Amino acid sequence: MAFKRKFNTGEHSSITTIHVRRYLTSLIASHVLRENLGALVNQQNRHYSAPVAGATPASKQKYVPTSGTYPKGFLASGIHVGVKPTNTQFPDLALLASETPCSGAAVFTKNKFQAAPVTVSRQVLERRSGEGVRAIVINAGCANAVTGKGGLDDASAMVRAVDACFNSSRPTSPTTPLKPSSDPSTTLVMSTGVIGQRLPISKILSAIPVAHSTLSSTHNNWLLAARAICTTDTFPKLLSRTFILPSSPGITYTLAGMTKGAGMIHPNMATLLGMLFTDAPIPAKTLQPLLTHAVDRSFNAISVDGDTSTNDTLAFLANSAAGGEPITSLSSEDGKALTEIVTSFAQQLSQLVIRDGEGATKFVRVRVVNSLSFADAQKIASTIARSPLVKTALYGKDANWGRILCAVGYTDGLSPGAVVPEKTSVSFVPTDGSDALKLLVRGEPEMVDEKRAAKILEGEDLEILVDLGGGEGGQGKDEANYWFCDFSHEYVTINGDYRT
Q: Are 160 and 137 in contact (CB under 8 A)?
A: no
Q: In whole angstroms, what is the distance from residue 296 CA to residue 315 CA?
A: 14
Per 3-state DSSP, the chain is made up of helix, strand and coil in percentages (nearest 5) of 40, 25, 40
Estimate the crossing angle of helix 116-128 against helix 148-166, to 10 degrees: 50
Q: Are 138 and 207 in contact (CB under 8 A)?
A: no
**Residue type at position 236:** P
Q: Are 305 and 284 in contact (CB under 8 A)?
A: no
Q: Are 334 and 257 in contact (CB under 8 A)?
A: no
Q: Are 353 and 262 in contact (CB under 8 A)?
A: yes
CA 367 to mean position of chain CA atoms? 19
Q: In whole angstroms, what is the distance from residue 423 CA to residue 226 CA?
A: 46
* Given 271, 313, 339, 383, the catalytic residue: 271
**Residue type at position 284:** A
Write the CA distances from 391 to 6, 360, 488, 492, integer angstroms: 54, 10, 8, 13
Q: For residue 143, give the nearest of 134, 129, 154 by alpha carbon.
A: 154
Write the CA distances from 184 to 168, 181, 277, 371, integer angstroms: 15, 5, 21, 45
State yes or no: is 271 an active-site residue: yes
Q: In whole angstroms, what is the distance from residue 231 CA to residue 228 CA?
A: 9
Q: For residue 259, give the nearest of 220, 209, 210, 225 by alpha carbon.
A: 225
| Residues with a known catalytic role | 271
